[in-house]
Structure 1
């Protein structure tokens, strides 16, 4: 049951549509943070022990030696997309989907009929500073004039996190020449950029079309869930659905999940058998 008392305020909803983001404070209570942190560390250890990009759709960055830029260096992980993979799955990863404050806040934007769309994680590399190029999650030419969207991406910080940068309002307009010059190849500060600061337990809701980037020095302890929930009517590629359902059934998660999380997966799996364009979210290795 989604609580109306925990839904976003009018000001927060307006910020989402107008600026492309909003921050919800203390979504995870402080006393619950340890269980999420412990589960996250076990997952990171496994990903780092298996550096294959394909196995967990691991996100990788090349460590660059500034004194010798041409030196051969190893790739380091800074995230992975497959938290449901049987190697990585922890009950805490789906327990979070029972969070009443989270679901009520999301329903303010998406409505009450929600489904899971992605369970991912982001972290700071050990040996190299993380400095991602400016980008939109999709084509740089695509934007939403009214600020609406049928899914919401959200980062939930387990430690203090100031790595996320965005240009408020950029999801509703074409990019400027200055912004276009930075897309997929630049990390320079942009006019009007906002650094989003999250305290442990806070969640950042972001529009996928807002211009954004991540930046985290190796000295930071970045541990952030990156999840996506969507309206039940949003089409999904069959590859993603079949993959998630395979892992879900292999681990018999339907018998283990609390009602709210189970409902999100049930809504997702209702798409089985439908033919949709797999290019919407292809089951391919992560591409830079």
Structure 2
């Protein structure tokens, strides 16, 4: 469970850090699984296959210079090519789930299993953004889904402006959204040690920065309340992969419940298409 201080920070500032969610002795199995996945993504650099996140090295002093394109993450950890049991085993972590329940309640479903890493040849320097429309914010700081980064090595790539999720953006902030990487007044660098988890509000103004010299290996997962009515079209593929991998026969009860809640979820995608409902009712 989150402490009262952590909950206050979540609602007021749009983030909180929970220490040592993954015990140090368990980190090697997650690191090894992560590395196998990264190797496969790098061997198949197409954006479409794994919804790979790509970055281009832009020389602002010489815009005509040849740029390198490289991956820094992917969204489809449940893809049969990439799947590792460690990816879903993490969803049985009691400290993680009790912390999530402090904010969202106990009736949860999977919303996304993703991964982020440092490029090998290109520095990663993402523009400032909100995960959604720049005009949208949450006056009371509440949210029905929660995204979180779990660091497998030390990670200081995440920058945010505390409290920006509860108000309109300032003129200085708006000038940076989707186009700029300049430091902003009040910005904070979130530092995670191996095994730590950063919970972040999707509407807080943030960006990532990771030089190629860093060893960033971070899970980026999203869980949601089952009454969240909207999801992304990309998640529809989870249903087919779940069956193809026969995960219902393999997962421990806690993780299985999170997936069954998703499979039974009766919501719409952002483009107003229905998710097909599968027969996993308890």
Q: Within 5 A, what are the aligned runs for 1:1-288?
A: 7-65=1-59, 68-237=62-231, 239-271=233-265, 274=266, 276-279=268-271
Structure 1 stretches of 5 or more lacking a match? 1-6, 284-288
Shift of 1:125: 0.5
The residue that corresponds to 1:3 in the other structure is: none
Shift of 1:275: 5.8
Distance 1:176 1:282, change over 3 A: farther
SS of residue paired to 2:258? helix
Shift of 1:245: 0.8
Shift of 1:71: 2.5
- Aligned equivalents of 1:113 and 1:121: distance in 2? 24
Q: Tell whether the 8 Å contact from 2:131 to 2:203 is kept in structure 1 after alignment.
A: yes
Q: Tell whether the 8 Å contact from 2:69 to 2:122 is kept in structure 1 after alignment.
A: no
SS of residue paired to 1:183? coil
The residue that corresponds to 1:286 in the other structure is: none
Shift of 1:242: 3.1
With 183-192 and 230-239 compared, the bigger mean Cα shift is at: 230-239
Q: Tell whether the 8 Å contact from 1:153 to 1:206 is kept in structure 2 after alignment.
A: yes
The residue that corresponds to 2:278 in the other structure is: none
| TM-score where L is the length of structure 1 | 0.92
Shift of 1:108: 0.2
Structure 2 stretches of 5 or more lacking a match? 276-282
With 209-218 and 67-76 compared, the bigger mean Cα shift is at: 67-76
- Aligned equivalents of 2:6 and 2:236: distance in 1? 35
Tell me how many residue pairs correspond in the alignment: 275
SS of residue paired to 1:279? coil
Q: Tell whether the 8 Å contact from 2:233 to 2:271 is kept in structure 1 after alignment.
A: no
The residue that corresponds to 1:4 in the other structure is: none
Deviations 1:133-192 (Å, cap 9, x if unpaired)? 000000000000000000000000000000000000000000000000000010011000
